[in-house]
């Protein structure tokens, strides 16, 4: 499959944050699969090495960098490096953020989760991404459809959806902005929870009878990034198998 199959400009650049595992890793693989040049960013060097080797082994084009999205200087340096090598990025998968188990106060958690997303977008727009630019940010059903603890986590996820709508309204002439809201996704760090009574109940009560995997979310992201979604702007798309219908 090449970029033109999805309507992408061949060789256009996609930045994927949190690319070392889970949704980010799957998104990096799928973006490369359709012919985009991928800049994979994460704080996990080992995970980046693995996804880089996998993409390259499949004939894709990828570069990777250790980037902390909570560090504005690191964001700027990473964008500058990509621009020097390939020119401005056309697409952004805004995925990295703090985990719900991270021990932040309410102010810290909301500030880091939403502030990092806004900082990434601001730097992306500053480069002038050009025609067909698109951003997909990763929120959660915990923000707009369900509740969860600690309180900063659903608050921040709801704010990501709000940021997406605000930018879609304000900057839509320059770039499309959408977000996905996954439910629980099967990743290595979720293994113990998946094997718990609560985790098994979650899968059993889902209308599709299973947890999501990274690809389930990555394919939705790829659609929203692509020209197939050229008139989709400001949307929060649940990717939950219908879980919120039965909660």
Band the pLDDT of 68: cuts 50, 70, 90: very high
Per-residue pLDDT averaged across 2-9, rounded? 80
Per-residue pLDDT averaged across 100-123, rounded? 92
- Which residue in the list 104, 153, 193, 231 is annotated as catalytic? 153
Band the pLDDT of 204: cuts 50, 70, 90: confident
What is the rounded CA–CA span in Å between residue 137 and residue 20?
A: 17
Concerning whether 145 is annotated as a catalytic residue, the answer is no
- Domains of the chain with CATH codes: 3-183+212-245 (3.40.50.720)
What integer pLDDT is reported at residue 175 of this predicted model? 98
Which tens digit of pLDDT belongs to each residue from 6-52? 889 989 999 999 999 999 999 999 999 999 999 999 999 999 999 99
End-to-end CA distance of the chain, in Å? 38
Among residues of the chain, what percentage have pLDDT more than 90? Answer: 75
What integer pLDDT is reported at residue 2 of this predicted model? 62
Strand partners, 227: none
pLDDT of 106 strictly over 60: yes
Q: Which region, left, alpha or beta, applies to residue 59 given φ > 0 means left and ψ of -120 to 50 means alpha?
A: left
What integer pLDDT is reported at residue 99 of this predicted model? 81
Q: What tokens does 122 get?
A: 């601001």
What integer pLDDT is reported at residue 1 of this predicted model? 57
pTM for the model stands at 0.94
């Amino acid at each position: 499959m090449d970029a033109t199959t999805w309507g992408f400009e061949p060789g256009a650049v996609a930045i994927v944050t949190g690319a070392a595992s889970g949704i980010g890793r799957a998104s990096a693989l799928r973006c490369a699969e359709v012919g985009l040049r991928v800049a994979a960013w994460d704080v996990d060097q080992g995970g980046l090495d693995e996804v880089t080797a996998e993409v390259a082994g499949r004939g894709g084009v990828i570069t990777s960098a250790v980037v902390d999205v909570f560090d504005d200087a690191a964001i700027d340096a990473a964008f500058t490096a990509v621009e020097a090598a390939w020119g401005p990025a056309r697409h952004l998968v805004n995925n990295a953020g703090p985990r719900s188990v991270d021990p932040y106060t309410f102010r810290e958690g909301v500030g880091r989760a939403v502030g990092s997303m806004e900082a990434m977008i601001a730097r992306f727009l500053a480069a002038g991404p050009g025609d067909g630019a698109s951003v997909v940010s990763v929120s959660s059903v915990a923000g707009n459809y369900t509740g969860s603890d600690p309180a900063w986590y659903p608050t921040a996820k709801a704010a990501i959806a709000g940021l997406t709508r605000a930018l879609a309204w304000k900057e839509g002439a320059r770039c499309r902005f959408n977000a996905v809201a996954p439910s629980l996704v099967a990743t290595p760090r979720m293994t113990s929870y998946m094997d718990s009574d609560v985790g098994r109940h979650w899968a059993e009560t889902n209308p599709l009878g299973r947890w999501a995997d990274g690809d389930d979310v990555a394919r939705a992201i790829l659609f929203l990034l692509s020209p197939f979604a050229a008139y989709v702007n400001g949307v929060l798309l649940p990717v939950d198998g219908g879980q919120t219908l039965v909660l």
